[in-house]
Structure 1
Amino acid sequence: MNRIPKMIRRLCVAALLSCCWMPSAHAADAAGALIERGAYLARVGDCVACHTAPKGKPYAGGLAMSTPVGAVYSTNITPDPRTGIGTWTLRDFERALRHGVSRDGHNLYPAMPYPSYAKVRDEDVAALYAYFMRAVPAVKQANRESDIRWPLNMRWPLKLWNLAFLDQEVFRDNAAQSATWNRGAYLTQGLGHCGACHTSRGAAFQEKALDERGDQYLQGAALEGWYASSLGGDRRAGLGRWNEQDLRSFLRTGANRHATAFGSMTDVINNSTQHLTDADTQAIAHYLKSLPTPDGAGLFAAVPVATSAQALSGARVYGKYCLQCHGADGRGVPPLLAPLALNPNLAAPRTASLINVTLNGTRELVIGGLPAPYPMPAFGKVLSDAEVADVVTYLRGQWGQGADPMSVSADEVRKLRKTTRR
């Protein structure tokens, strides 16, 4: 007689428990999805590259970043409550990310690319916050003060800098463009912060343009001993000869039929762009190929054959140290061995990258966990300043597509050797 009531009670209890459990399970799934999205967005922003010191723990800060007035050091953004951001609210996080103001109210140096991150949408800020607060291991490591001396280390002038140069408007889709274009623009201008390296800066260290409406946007810039090449449509020194597939290959692997990544772009490939979805890679490529060609770009002079004494000396250096990989015709074996012929870096308006890569070589590209087999070796201990100047002069004269073949001096090499010595 009592079996039916007991069974009913058990069924009621089970039903009640399932009702209580289902919302919590859905909440856990939603939280997990938010964290996963935040982890992906941190990849897009390559946050680990700047907030991790050499041989340091991820996101614990301490990486030195050069500025015209001294080095600044990236901060600890792990959820440690004393030395990191463990006590920060979402509002604190958002204000630092998009407005360059830390939790205690001090202004961040624009070495932190918050002028780009100002474009990041609210939902993506929330996802990043969830990832850093709930998935990144806490690391107790105090932040390091900058090397900038008084009075230049005072932070209050940065409030005026923000008033003058910070556009606080979140990215808005352009109704005249496709969904793919808008996605590529959002990633490139925002978390990708491509302009932080590839856009030249003014006297106040501000980027001269923050999107395609400015004619200086992504048209190339000097950067810590390198020259970040133009991403515009210039056929000599930009991406005018590249198609969208070339760009997708470069973002995925750091190499294509035209060039190979070097300098800080190696970190971008290793930590960020190779991990993007196919759709996002395609969107960035599509957006970059839409950028305008600067006035006067793509007008070729006759390709010079360098015959000066300096260039002839450079030809001998090339034959001894470079020909085996890059070939007598400069075509290399792409994507394994970088081509020099039609490589936009040889036509760049500045020679810093050519000098730097000759002196110091390149760090390894690591794609899918496998190091690239033929990184560029360093010749700084083998070649003199004059020999480096000679071979770079030869390269520009032979394959620079009209670049000035006489622009490199031993003094330029000496100065760069001093500032980039590892």
Structure 2
Amino acid sequence: MKNMLKGLGAALCVALPFLAQAPAGAATPAAAGAADQALVQRGAYLAQLGDCAACHTAPKGKPFAGGLPMNTPMGRIYVTNITPDAQTGIGGYTEADFARALREGVAKDGHNLYPAMPYPSYAKVNDGDVKALYAYFMHGVAPVQQANREADIKWPLNMRWPLMFWNMAFLEKGPYRDKPGKDVAWNRGAYLVQGLGHCGSCHTPRGVGFQESALDESGSAFLSGALLDGWFASNLTGEHNTGLGRWSDEDLRTFLKTGANRHASAFGAMTSVINNSTQALNDQDVAAVSKYLKSLPPVGGNGAPAYTYDPQATKVSLDRPANDAGARVYTAYCMHCHGVDGRGFAPMLAPLAGNPNVLAKDASSLINVTLNGTGDLVINGVPSPFPMPGFAAVLDDKQIADVLSFVRAGWNNGAPAVAAAEVAKLRQSTQAGR
């Protein structure tokens, strides 16, 4: 993203006599240019924290030009152009217009944005960060003339005026305020997770109005995991099986920076979060996010005791795979990467034994990644060597259900079996249009 920053400071030419004549305390043109460039650079960093590129850049599209399809319960919408193009982007937005769209979900012309845009989270962004983001999108992003595409939502659900009432009911206005009794790092982590990071947009269950059930740690559902667009976003609380309870602070910081650790690897939508956002966090912000997340009490478990590894029963099944349909598929397609012992070769190849995604009650992510594979994790410009391939064209619904049921029962995982009908449903929804 840095290669999109303009060299504003280099474009300024200032003669030494003007420096000598400047009144005491006045900003010279060079100083003002440096300040502007610093603001643009800060905005670039904040745009990475907000993962703006992941949603506003379509595959093989130009940065921030929009066009990415996004499925919602009402139908498919297409993310908008947020480059500074005056005709099709946000080039005509004032800073106040930009702030209103970002924090209140109202475009310059007055129409309401769908809450797929995480403005309930961005409402917590402070004025200084809004100013820096505006500077970046106006002066650090190349304008692209690309018209926005209308949503594929049928009448009457495509009417936007009811969103005014949605905002009245569910939008909490006002930037984040530090919680008393918490230190600087905790509050910084809370600000990033709840605000720019908008983690709750994916990881918090939604209510009947498509609103997040909780916007911070005061709500018991906050970050307890949620189904969204064919993926189950993981539990980020301290729950010991499906959450982060068994992860150390170092485990979590490693995952945020690289997308993999000894417990799990990022896949699906989380891959783009790692690629476009969290790996760019500086050390202080990574530590702050980890501190905040590790402070969240356990929520969403099924009451099972903490996971302990037990390979014996699974080893017996794999020794005689002919007796188990899932074991047969596992030995043919999975074992070489994930191991006979289910421990994989972390962090290169994800473990399946004790993996929170495997233990989750909802198997959607496992079905989706088995059908469709996942994109490359790209850390510091280097793609991961062993991305998960898709098996939709190789395995039928029953075979996928069998192998996932085998994995979810294996190595003492103790998770529910997967039905072929669940696989068929996700196959249909995720393969449509491919």
- The TM-score bracket by the shorter chain reads over 0.9
Residue 430 of structure 2 is aligned to residue 414 of structure 1: no
How far residue 54 of structure 1 moved from its aligned partner, in angstroms, is 1.3
Distance in 1, Cα, partners of 2:58 & 2:412: 36
Q: 1:178 aligns with which of 178, 183, 195?
A: 183
Deviations 1:300-320 (A, max 9, x none): 28989588x999210111111
Any conservation in 2 of the 1:301–1:401 contact (CA below 8 Å)? no
Distance in 2, Cα, partners of 1:151 & 1:311: 54
Distance in 2, Cα, partners of 1:333 & 1:248: 19
Deviations 1:350-386 (A, max 9, x none): 0111111111111100001001111111111111110
In structure 2, runs of 5+ residues without a counterpart are: 1-14
Q: Give me the CA root mean square deviation.
A: 2.0
Q: 1:318 to 1:151 in 2, by over 3 A?
A: same
TM-score, reference length from structure 2: 0.90
Equivalent in the alignment of 2:266: 261
Mapping for residues 268-347 of structure 1, pairs under 5 Å: 268-294=273-299, 299-300=304-305, 312-347=324-359
How far residue 15 of structure 1 moved from its aligned partner, in angstroms, is 4.7
Deviations 1:202-248 (A, max 9, x none): 11100000001100000000011111010011111111000110011
Q: 1:70 aligns with which of 42, 62, 75?
A: 75
In structure 1, runs of 5+ residues without a counterpart are: 1-12
Q: What residue identity is the alignment partner of 1:154? A: M
* Aligned length in residues: 407
Any conservation in 2 of the 1:236–1:401 contact (CA below 8 Å)? no
Q: What residue identity is the alignment partner of 1:369? A: G
Any conservation in 2 of the 1:234–1:298 contact (CA below 8 Å)? no
Distance in 2, Cα, partners of 1:30 & 1:258: 43
Equivalent in the alignment of 2:408: 396
How far residue 328 of structure 1 moved from its aligned partner, in angstroms, is 0.9
Distance in 1, Cα, partners of 2:67 & 2:337: 37
Q: 1:321 to 1:99 in 2, by over 3 A?
A: same
Q: 1:226 aligns with which of 204, 207, 231?
A: 231
Any conservation in 1 of the 2:240–2:306 contact (CA below 8 Å)? no
Equivalent in the alignment of 2:385: 373
Q: 2:210 aligns with which of 200, 205, 214?
A: 205
Any conservation in 1 of the 2:70–2:77 contact (CA below 8 Å)? yes
Deviations 1:103-149 (A, max 9, x none): 00000000000000000000000000000001100000111110001
Question: Secondary structure of the residue that 2:329 maps to in structure 1?
Answer: helix
Equivalent in the alignment of 2:10: none
Residue 54 of structure 2 is aligned to residue 52 of structure 1: no
Equivalent in the alignment of 1:154: 159
Distance in 1, Cα, partners of 2:245 & 2:220: 16
Question: Secondary structure of the residue that 1:190 maps to in structure 2?
Answer: helix
Distance in 2, Cα, partners of 1:328 & 1:165: 49
Mapping for residues 18-37 of structure 1, pairs under 5 Å: 18-20=20-22, 23-37=28-42
Q: 1:31 to 1:14 in 2, by over 3 A?
A: closer
Q: What residue identity is the alignment partner of 2:358? A: L
Q: 1:354 aligns with which of 358, 366, 370?
A: 366
Distance in 2, Cα, partners of 1:133 & 1:213: 36
Distance in 1, Cα, partners of 2:419 & 2:68: 31
Residue 377 of structure 2 is aligned to residue 385 of structure 1: no
TM-score, reference length from structure 1: 0.93
Distance in 2, Cα, partners of 1:272 & 1:296: 28
Q: 1:14 to 1:237 in 2, by over 3 A?
A: closer
Q: 2:171 aligns with which of 150, 156, 166?
A: 166
Mapping for residues 134-149 of structure 1, pairs under 5 Å: 134-149=139-154
Equivalent in the alignment of 1:90: 95
Distance in 1, Cα, partners of 2:370 & 2:378: 21
Q: What residue identity is the alignment partner of 2:20? A: S
Any conservation in 2 of the 1:311–1:394 contact (CA below 8 Å)? no
Q: 1:15 to 1:377 in 2, by over 3 A?
A: closer
Q: What residue identity is the alignment partner of 1:24? A: P
Any conservation in 2 of the 1:226–1:353 contact (CA below 8 Å)? yes
Equivalent in the alignment of 2:3: none
Residue 124 of structure 2 is aligned to residue 119 of structure 1: yes
Distance in 1, Cα, partners of 2:307 & 2:375: 34
Q: 1:311 to 1:282 in 2, by over 3 A?
A: farther
Q: Percent identity?
A: 61
Distance in 2, Cα, partners of 1:302 & 1:310: 28
Distance in 2, Cα, partners of 1:263 & 1:242: 21
Question: Secondary structure of the residue that 2:196 maps to in structure 1?
Answer: coil
Larger Rg: 1
Equivalent in the alignment of 2:133: 128
Equivalent in the alignment of 1:9: none
Equivalent in the alignment of 2:110: 105
Equivalent in the alignment of 2:221: 216
How far residue 153 of structure 1 moved from its aligned partner, in angstroms, is 0.4
Distance in 1, Cα, partners of 2:34 & 2:187: 29
Q: 1:17 to 1:285 in 2, by over 3 A?
A: closer
Any conservation in 2 of the 1:65–1:72 contact (CA below 8 Å)? yes
Q: 1:17 to 1:277 in 2, by over 3 A?
A: closer
Distance in 1, Cα, partners of 2:252 & 2:282: 14
Question: Secondary structure of the residue that 2:77 maps to in structure 1?
Answer: strand
Q: What residue identity is the alignment partner of 2:159? A: M
Any conservation in 1 of the 2:69–2:78 contact (CA below 8 Å)? yes
